Structure formats: C-alpha cells, structure tokens
Structure 1
Amino acid sequence: AILLLCGALNPVTKGHIMMAETAHQFLSQDYLVNKVLFLPTNDKYPYKKLEKGVHRAKMIELAFQQSKISKILEVDHQDLEHSDFRPTAESIQLIKQRYQEQVFYISGLDQLKFMCDETKWSRQNITQMFSSCKLFVFQRPSGDGAVDDVEVLNTVKKHDYMQQYIDNKQVVILQQEICAASSTAVRNGDATWVWPEVWHYIQEHRLYNQ
C-alpha cells in the first residue's frame, strides 16, 4: 500500500509528519505500507501564492529526518516538475498507475469540507479520485484551519455524491486528532510547529520574509 499526503506544504509542519506517522500505524494493522509519499503542489497553484517548490521539497526532506518512519518517507516531485497545476485527483491517479498498489490519501476534515465545494472540486474530479484511492481523514478541532466535525459531516450529507463514499467506507474518519500545527503561523514567524532544521532553512533562505 502507498500512503499519500498532498498539498501546499507551505511549509511542512510537525502536524503533517504526525499525520503520516499515525496513518502509517493505523494502516499497518492490515496492509504492508511500502511508501509514504509527500506530494507538494505545483508552484502555479491557483488559490494562493506559494513558496518555490524547490524550497518546500527541501524542507520536507529536512522534516523527514526527525520521523520514526523516515526510511519509507519520500518526496514525490511529479507535480512540482509538471508544467502547470493539475487537480489532486489527477495526481493521485498517476501515483496509482505508477506503483500499481492501493493508495490511501491522508487529509484533514477541512479538506473533506473543501471537496464539497464544486467551484474547487468538480464531481468529475471526485469520481476520478475515489476510483484511485481511499481517504483517511483526521479531525482538527483547534488551531489554524480548525473545523467542527459535525458541521463538516452535515455539509457532506447535503452532497449525495460525497456521502456515498462515507457510506461505502472509502472515506475513513480517524478518531485521532492532529495537533494544531499551523503553516500560517510558521509563515508569520512562529517556529513552534517546525523542527529547528526547518526553521534554520527558512531563515537561511529568507523565506516568508523571515
């Protein structure tokens, strides 16, 4: 099995690594997990400006050094090297085709809510994604990006095409809560949520105006 964590990772935080480790522990009960891939999105991401991909990828590699599962953690550059931004569903499908293994996509509840917004995720993209993977969703009750689980599940219920994936267990909502680690806080100068090696890299390269 392949575990996959996609997103801006702008920058990667302790919370992202914790999600990967927890999902790995959960999935390893039933599957042999061969890789945990971190897939940073393309620099041409249309919804907000990101730091250059070369820096985001390097910070992920530095964060891996602190993980107890570092041997199977890997940065996947397929989206960074692509000429333009492409939808997450397409990226996941390419991972599935390349490895020919079952793919589990790690996300937070905030992302599940985001998927119900058809201006960001078309129904076609949702169908394409769930043809290629299952979704592990972590709760995020506090901190930047916090969402209420009841509110999100009520939003999903209003979208039958999304609710079906919870009903058939393609979306698994994990009971574990992730820490309130915030990429926004890091960009604003709070070093709490990244390891010293990552913070040093941010300062050395003067990222996020630090």
Structure 2
Amino acid sequence: MKSIEKVLVIFGGSFNPPTNSHFSLAEQIYCSFDEVEKVIFMPVSDAYPKKDLLEAKYRVKMLELVCKLNPHFEVSTLEVDSPVLLSSIDTLRRMQKAYEDHKIWLVLGTDNLKVMTSWTCYKEILEGFRCLVLEREDDILEHIIEQDTLLKPYKDRFIKMKESIHSDESATLLRQKLREGKSIRYMLPDEAYFYIIEKGLYTVVPTSHNKIGNNNIL
C-alpha cells in the first residue's frame, strides 16, 4: 500500500486582522486533502510595504489565539522574525529546510496567479513547490494557465481547490467598520475580536462594545 506524503500548506498574508474567511479556508484545505498535515499561517513582517499594516506582534497574537484551538493550524513567525524582508521563494526554502520530510504547498489566489510570471522567482517557486490555488470571483484556473504561455509548462504544479469560499468578510471591510465605530463581532473569531477590543486596535471603539469584552485575554 502506497503511503500518503505529508504536506504542510503555507498560508501567507497580512492577516490585518484575520477573518472568519481565513480560518474557514484553512479548515477547508485541511479537510479536502488527505495528505495535508497542517495549515501554517505565515503573517508578513512589519517591513512589508502595505498601507495601514498593524504591528506584527498584534497580528501574530490574534492568529495564535485562534490557532491554538485547532491542532491542524499553526502560526509561523519566520517572516516576522527575519531582519530582512523575505521573498516568497526564501520563505518556502527555509520552511522546506525546517521540514525536510514534508512537501510544501503554497496557497495562492487567482488574483496573484495572474501576475505570478512578473515575479523574479516564479520559476523557482513552481519548480520546487506546488501551489494550491483558490479561484476568486469568476476566475477559472485552467483558463488562466492556458492563456499564459509562461505558466503552461508548469500546469501540473497547480492544485485546484475543490470549492471556493465567497465572503464579504474582508480585512479591509473590518478595518473600515472599526474606523466608523461599528461592531465587527461575528465577522471574525471571538478570540481575535475580543483581543482587538481589549487592546483598542485599529481605532477607539464605543464603550458599548467594551461591555462584552473578555477580561481573560492578556
């Protein structure tokens, strides 16, 4: 009987803040592929050039509060702890070195897939690793690959998610609601929500929201 290879899925992002959609997708990934042992959340470092990026220590903490409740989830601070901004291939190679007995897959949305060949390291990524692709909106993975002559030779390096999660619970929307003083409860896990309230992250929230805060969160 052929043994199933062990796979770690790297789920990178700013997680600013992490939403229900992030964790729903991670759970779907774990449940959809027998070979997947864990989904590892990889938050970007403070050096990542993105507007309104909350300090990494808070984003990491929110992820940890949620992931500790699921044995198949893990948080890596590889990029956060790096003294230099790591490229995708640097991150993947370091993870592969740390987990030599595992295969490494990278979560990739079709929005990034469309521009992947503009990355200087795209060939190295596709030659050394596989990409687990999440189709966004009306995108179709096969069509994107077929229309890109640079991606076509690597079509076997892509794995298509069997289902897609469509949600309006984007981190951008949550940040906007917080700035407007609106509640975001139930749009992200309670562990992350209460932490945001407790620490007053993103904006000053109304006193009425604090009444339902969790004093056990440090």
Q: Shared fold by TM > 0.5?
A: yes
> Counterpart in 2 of 1:194?
188
For 1:83, the aligned partner's letter is P
Give secondary structure in 2 for the equivalent of 1:37: strand
1:56-205 correspondence to structure 2 within 5 Å = 56-65=59-68, 70-100=70-100, 101-116=102-117, 118=118, 121-122=119-120, 125-141=121-137, 148-150=138-140, 154=143, 156-166=145-155, 169-180=156-167, 181-189=169-177, 190-205=184-199
Match of 1:197, SS state, is: helix
Q: How many residues end up aligned between the 2 structures?
A: 190
Aligned-pair Cα RMSD in Å: 2.1
Residues 179 and 154 of structure 1: CA distance in aligned 2, closer, same or farther (over 3 Å): closer
| Matching residue within 23, 47, 57 for 2:29 | 23
My pick for the range that moved more, 94-103 or 42-51, is 42-51
Task: Give the Å deviation of 1:72.
Answer: 2.6
Q: Deviations for 1:11-36, whole angstroms, at most 9, x for unmatched residues?
A: 111111111111112221xx2x3332
Partner of 2:216: none
CA contact (8 A) 1:7 1:40 kept: yes
Letter in 2 for 1:172: I
Query: What amino acid does structure 1 have at the position aligned with 2:139?
Result: D
How far the C-alpha of 1:155 sits from its partner, in A, is 5.0
Match of 2:197, SS state, is: helix
Q: Percent identity?
A: 24
Q: Which residue of 2 aligns with 1:52?
A: 55
Change (3 A) 1:89 1:48: farther
Look up the match of 1:145. none
Do the aligned residues in 1 keep the contact of 2:16 with 2:53 (CA within 8 Å)? yes
**2:12 equivalent to 1:11:** no
Residue 181 of structure 2 corresponds to none
Pairwise CA distance, 1:65: 4.8
Q: What is the TM-score when the length of structure 1 is the normalising length?
A: 0.81
More relative contact order, 1 or 2 (CA 8 Å, 6+ apart): 1
Q: Work out the CA distance in 1 between the residues paired with 2:37 and 2:189.
A: 25
CA distance in 1, matches of 2:193, 2:152: 40
**Structure 1: any 5+ residue segments left out of the alignment?**
142-147
Q: Secondary structure at the match of 2:49?
A: coil
Q: Which one is further off, 52-61 or 191-200?
A: 191-200
- Cα-to-partner distance string for 1:88-138 (whole Å, 9 max, x where unaligned): 12101111111011011123222222424x2xx22xx11121233211112
The change in CA–CA distance for 1:139 and 1:43 in structure 2 (over 3 A counts) is: same
